[in-house]
């Protein structure tokens, strides 16, 4: 009763606004037939206002359109900005691609023996063996493959080709056969690369296709292992597992393999994925994809939690992503921290990987020369031909992966730093660093920095004393690899005044303490200029803290005896006391409004942390100012390492004095699980040459921020328009139930913005922080009809996910929702204007056609070809049976859209045959239904693409999913009803029926707003339920009144 009174009150207020200056108080329109007739004339379209000769109404319509026009202008401007920054503007600096071109000599052999005897999908998919010409063994004359290496299976991604295997495979062959001396692993062997040909299937759009591929690959692995069983060397056991490399969705298919019934136990133990969306499904057009993700992730988590399982003891999962340049898949989605522990896998970025140091786009990640060289080395270093698994142990594989794929400066890699015995010759001549720079003693300052500018002419070793006070930190930067670091402990009590070491002192060599860093000179513009296979040597850098230094008395830096040095090679060391990380307590709001100017102290390596800067939706621009008193040229140009701890993402900005640089990260991201106890802050390590200081000036980079919003919120451009259309439709149907007038879409939207716009936008503004609270998330999950997105699944690990609305976690960006709503309004307004233009041309064409055939009127009721309900019903039945046996219901949805378009055109073309009231109602109703169906079909379109692709390959094979005719039958029959130029309505006096229509539309609007982005496929089902209810209304209206 309360809801009814509220709606009646809304009706009275609505009427007062729509009749323009007519103040009606205390009475309902339906009790005043004359006034209702006036409302019918006023609540019409702009076209009716032009034809009904009512200047006052037209003026009122223009007045009420002001809020709409303002919203449209702002939304259109925002869309232009997105187009400008996403398509026109390119990435700069550390965010630009620097991949080098490659060459290879590929050959592919199709394995015809893998036929229907081995797999039921042999006619749909194929298996190939790659051979690098001139290096790998060619097939024998009888066509049999000569397999004497370690099996590797490449799985292509969405619409990917099996030929993408060639880049990494060629690099492996070249490294093994031509550069064997660079491989440290003595038990490695050449790799036999197999590749699956999926006919470029659209794996990302269709869950059934993912399962088909996984089923095929399990059979393929069994077949591959059987080939080695026949050709295996008798001195080694036959292989029992295959190394997997998956690109894009191929990495997800690889993770599905162990979950299927036909999986060979232990046949998959090593997974390397390239730009694979592990953390979340990249698109949500198909509910099967979400179900497969949930089931696969649950399986992996369960196996990893059991520390005695085969999985936890043997399985490794390494996820590599190209980072910011991947415009097909948000790099945030490649995270695996919620699936596997660090003992079994991690996610790394190509900009992090030493000697790669460049972001890579989604397709180039399989062929980028720098990355494929490192991946090839990883494969060869982790292989073991003597083991049946053909792999080294899990611990060895993970250690090698950390060495090759992480920067080496992460806390996670510190336990890999080892110290071994080092013999120091008594004849060595030591030079205390105070002879070159300033040493640290009881009277010295907190920092000691020393530099050697010409290592080529230096023949001494250098000793760095470690005082026993404070918290020490030692930083070393060198332009060559020819240095060795040894940590020494004095045998007798150490006297700082006696700087000569005793030859009986115990010294230990630090292995892997010196890490690669990109070179930064005036001539370098990008970090990758000194990457692998380049002409510029990278720097060597070390930064160790008190936890290591406190155990020793001094450090010795030696020149390796066989190292080659150049005249410009340098060595710089800096020892600091109590030189802890600097923390800057600044918020994004402060940076956006006031900016941030940060003056550094000029240390060799100065680390700055920003605890409140963690949101990956924001990007920053940093301008540097160099302050130096040196008259001679600096040893190197200042450079910056940007990083976050989780995931392992680093970026190197070189030569920052000549270029501004941008900061963008992939830390806390929408819809991605977040470990709330981990450090999320942005960190910068600034490397400055002696005698120089830097000033950093921070600003928000709004252009890059807008550019990155599009990649993360593409699905929102489908869900939010449905929310707006449903909300407008709810009010249109409410008006129609009250006064039998169906107002136009634009007029209704304008009215809602005029009267309720402030409340709507304030609600959108506070929606993001509201849905980020635990209580509201629990309520939203309770009312979620799908329940495939579980925000508290990993609550015991302090890991939560915000799946609702835009998935935003910060107050500062709450206004983004308003921007997307404005763009949705602008998009819908544009479609409505296109409809108005179509109406204009149809009317003009109709008038010309009628004038040329005077006296040949054809009343609408005489057009039997359109009015034959039997023919329409028969067509609906045929379409329903087609869904049941052959086509997916999404294709039928597209057909209904076409029929609805034809219905709209028929209404426009028969304006003179209908009275103005009926014409306006039909016009406005059918256009609004068209808008709703348009976005539903856009959501369904990926499944349609998959179906048409399958038809192109094997047209006679029925589609293997989405044959639920109940998911489309109501829509089919409602569109059929609409084609009879009628509007469904309830003649019954029961008010709950009209309320039910409004409530259904409001529920669809709220669902699309809050749940839509991560459950797009369910929007189709809700719209279909709405069609079923409207169809019932049409049936109820056709019954005789009691």
What is the set of active-site residues?
248
Residue with tokens 């008190």: 546
Residue with tokens 């592990």: 278
**Residue 432 CB neighbours (<10 A):** 17
**Residue 138 CB neighbours (<10 A):** 12
Sorted by sequence, the CB contacts under 8 Å of residue 945 that are 6+ apart come out as: 202, 205
Length of the chain: 1042
Q: Give strand pairing partners of 335.
A: none
Question: 241, 506, 185: which is closest to 376 by C-alpha?
Answer: 185
- Pair of tokens at residue 2: 């309360």
Collapsing DSSP to helix, strand or coil, 695 comes out as: strand
Distance CA 209, CA 410 (A): 39
**Residue 18 CB neighbours (<10 A):** 23
Distance CA 600, CA 611 (A): 18
Question: 951, 268, 324, 923: which is closest to 649 by C-alpha?
Answer: 324
Helix axes 33-42, 716-739, angle to 10 degrees: 150
H helical segments located in 863-1015: 864-867, 869-885, 889-909, 916-953, 969-979, 991-1010
Query: How far from 53 is each of 34, 843, 847, 910, CA to CA, in Å?
Result: 19, 18, 20, 21
Collapsing DSSP to helix, strand or coil, 727 comes out as: helix
Q: Judge contact between 572 and 507, C-beta under 8 A.
A: no
Residue with tokens 């340098």: 570
Question: What would you measure as the largest C-alpha separation in the chain, in angstroms?
Answer: 121
Residue with tokens 């020149």: 559
- Pair of tokens at residue 299: 């399986």
Distance CA 974, CA 799 (A): 45
**Residue 758 CB neighbours (<10 A):** 11
- Pair of tokens at residue 820: 């997307």
- Pair of tokens at residue 520: 């930064």
Residue 597: phi, psi to the nearest 5?
Answer: -115, 120
Distance CA 664, CA 622 (A): 11
Query: How far from 472 is each of 296, 391, 490, 553, 941, CA to CA, in Å?
Result: 47, 41, 18, 12, 61
Q: 157, exposed or middle or buried, with CB in 10 Å at 0-12, 13-18, 19+? A: buried
Q: Judge contact between 268 and 246, C-beta under 8 A.
A: no
Residue with tokens 């060979």: 264
Distance CA 989, CA 1039 (A): 13
Using alpha carbons only, what angle is made at residue 866 by residues 861 and 869, rounded to the nearest 5 degrees? 95
Question: 637, 578, 645: which is closest to 609 by C-alpha?
Answer: 645
Residue 1035: phi, psi to the nearest 5?
Answer: -65, -45
Collapsing DSSP to helix, strand or coil, 68 comes out as: helix
Taking the mean position of all CA atoms in its chain, how far away is CA 242? 28
Question: 608, 617, 614, 609: which is closest to 680 by C-alpha?
Answer: 614
Characterize the bridge pairing of strands 461-465 and 126-132.
Answer: unpaired
Q: What dihedral angle (degrees, nearest 10) is formed by the CA atoms of 435, 439, 441, 447?
A: 170
- Pair of tokens at residue 18: 């729509």
């Amino acid at each position: 009763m309360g809801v009814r009174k509220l709606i009646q009150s809304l009706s009275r207020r609505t009427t007062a606004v729509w009749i323009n200056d007519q103040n009606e108080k205390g009475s309902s329109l339906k009790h005043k037939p004359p006034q209702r007739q006036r409302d019918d004339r006023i609540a019409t379209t702009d076209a009716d206002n032009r034809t009904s000769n009512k200047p006052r109404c037209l003026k009122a319509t223009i007045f009420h359109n002001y809020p709409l026009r303002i919203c449209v202008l702002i939304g259109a401007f925002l869309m232009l900005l997105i187009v400008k920054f996403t398509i026109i503007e390119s990435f700069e600096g550390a965010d630009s691609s620097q991949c080098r071109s490659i060459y290879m000599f590929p050959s592919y052999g199709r394995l015809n023996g893998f036929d229907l005897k081995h797999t039921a999908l042999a006619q749909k998919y194929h298996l190939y063996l790659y051979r690098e010409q001139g290096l790998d063994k060619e097939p024998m004359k009888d066509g049999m493959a000569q397999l004497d290496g370690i099996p590797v299976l490449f799985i292509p991604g969405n619409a990917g080709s099996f030929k993408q295997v060639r880049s990494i495979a060629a690099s492996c062959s070249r490294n093994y056969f031509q550069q064997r001396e660079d491989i440290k692993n003595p038990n490695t062997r050449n790799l036999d690369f197999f590749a699956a040909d999926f006919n470029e299937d659209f794996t990302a759009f269709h869950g059934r296709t993912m399962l088909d591929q996984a089923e095929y690959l399990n059979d393929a692995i069994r077949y591959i292992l059987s080939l080695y069983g026949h050709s295996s060397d008798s001195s080694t056991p036959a292989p029992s597992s295959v190394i997997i490399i998956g690109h894009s969705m191929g990495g997800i298919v690889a993770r599905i393999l162990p979950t299927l019934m036909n999986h060979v136990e232990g046949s998959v133990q090593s997974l390397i994925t390239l730009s694979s969306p592990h953390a979340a499904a990249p698109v949500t057009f198909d509910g099967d994809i979400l179900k497969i993700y949930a089931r696969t992730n649950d399986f992996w988590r369960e196996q990893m939690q059991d520390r005695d399982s085969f999985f936890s003891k043997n399985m490794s999962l390494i996820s590599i992503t190209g980072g910011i340049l991947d415009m097909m898949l948000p790099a945030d989605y490649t995270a695996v921290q919620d699936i596997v522990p660090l003992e079994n896998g991690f996610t790394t970025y190509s900009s992090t990987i030493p000697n790669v140091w460049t972001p890579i786009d989604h397709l180039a990640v399989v062929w980028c020369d720098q990355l494929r060289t490192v991946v090839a080395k990883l494969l060869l270093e982790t292989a073991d031909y003597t083991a049946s698994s053909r792999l080294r142990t899990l611990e060895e594989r993970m250690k090698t992966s950390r060495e090759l794929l992480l920067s080496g400066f992460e806390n996670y890699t510190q336990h890999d730093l080892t110290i071994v015995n080092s013999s120091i010759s008594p004849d060595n001549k030591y030079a205390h660093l105070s002879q070159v720079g300033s040493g640290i003693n009881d009277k010295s300052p907190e920092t000691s920095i020393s530099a050697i500018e010409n290592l080529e002419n230096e023949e001494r070793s250098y000793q760095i004393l470690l005082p026993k006070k404070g918290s020490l930190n030692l930083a070393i930067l060198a332009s060559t690899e020819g240095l060795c670091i040894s940590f020494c402990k004095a045998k007798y009590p150490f006297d700082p005044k006696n700087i000569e070491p005793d030859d009986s002192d115990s010294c230990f060599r630090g292995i892997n303490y010196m890490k690669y860093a990109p070179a930064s000179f005036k001539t370098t513009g990008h970090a990758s200029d000194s990457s692998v296979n380049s002409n510029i040597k990278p720097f060597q850098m070390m930064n160790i803290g008190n936890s290591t230094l406190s155990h020793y008395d001094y450090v010795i830096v030696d020149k390796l005896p066989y190292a080659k040095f150049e005249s410009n090679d340098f060595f710089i060391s800096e020892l600091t006391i109590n030189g802890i990380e600097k923390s800057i307590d600044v918020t994004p709001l402060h940076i956006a409004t006031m900016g941030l100017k940060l003056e550094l102290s000029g240390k060799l390596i100065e680390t700055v942390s920003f605890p409140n800067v963690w949101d990956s939706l924001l990007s920053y621009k940093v301008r540097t100012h160099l302050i130096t008193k040196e008259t001679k040229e600096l040893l190197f140009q200042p450079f910056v390492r940007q990083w976050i701890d989780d995931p392992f993402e680093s970026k190197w900005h070189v030569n920052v004095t000549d270029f501004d640089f941008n900061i963008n990260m992939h830390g806390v991201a929408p819809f991605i699980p977040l470990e709330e106890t981990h450090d999320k802050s942005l960190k910068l390590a600034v490397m400055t040459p002696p005698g120089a200081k830097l000033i950093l000036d921070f600003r928000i980079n709004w252009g890059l921020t807008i550019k990155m919003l599009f990649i993360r919120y593409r699905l929102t451009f489908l869900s939010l328009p449905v929310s707006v259309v449903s909300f407008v439709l709810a009010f249109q149907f409410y008006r129609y139930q009250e006064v039998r007038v169906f107002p136009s879409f634009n007029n209704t939207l304008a009215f809602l913005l005029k009267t309720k716009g402030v409340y709507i936008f304030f609600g959108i503004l506070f929606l993001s922080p509201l849905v980020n609270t635990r209580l509201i998330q629990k309520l939203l999950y309770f009312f979620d009809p799908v329940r495939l997105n579980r925000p508290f699944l990993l609550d015991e690990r302090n890991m939560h996910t915000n799946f609702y609305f835009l998935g935003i976690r910060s107050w500062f960006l709450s206004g983004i929702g308003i921007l997307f709503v404005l763009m949705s309004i602008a998009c819908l307004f544009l479609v409505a204007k296109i409809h108005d233009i179509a109406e204009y041309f149809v009317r003009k064409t109709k008038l010309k056609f009628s004038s040329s055939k005077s006296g040949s009127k054809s009343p609408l009721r005489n057009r039997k070809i359109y009015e034959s309900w039997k023919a329409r019903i028969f067509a609906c039945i045929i379409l329903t049976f087609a869904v049941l046996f052959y086509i997916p219901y999404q294709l039928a949805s597209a057909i209904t859209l076409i029929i609805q378009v034809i219905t709209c055109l028929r209404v426009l073309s028969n304006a003179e045959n209908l009275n103005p009231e009926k014409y306006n109602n039909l016009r406005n109703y059918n256009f609004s239904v068209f808008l709703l169906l348009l976005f539903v079909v856009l959501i369904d379109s990926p499944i349609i693409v998959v179906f048409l692709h399958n038809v192109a390959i094997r047209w006679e094979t029925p589609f293997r999913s989405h044959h639920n005719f109940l998911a489309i039958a109501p829509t089919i029959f409602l569109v059929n009803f609409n084609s009879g130029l009628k509007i469904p309505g309830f003649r019954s006096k029961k008010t709950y029926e009209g309320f039910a229509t409004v409530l259904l539309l409001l529920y669809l609007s709220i669902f699309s707003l809050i749940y839509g982005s991560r459950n797009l496929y369910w929007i189709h089902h809700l719209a279909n339920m709405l069609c079923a209810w409207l169809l019932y209304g049409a049936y109820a209206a056709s019954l005789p009144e009691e």
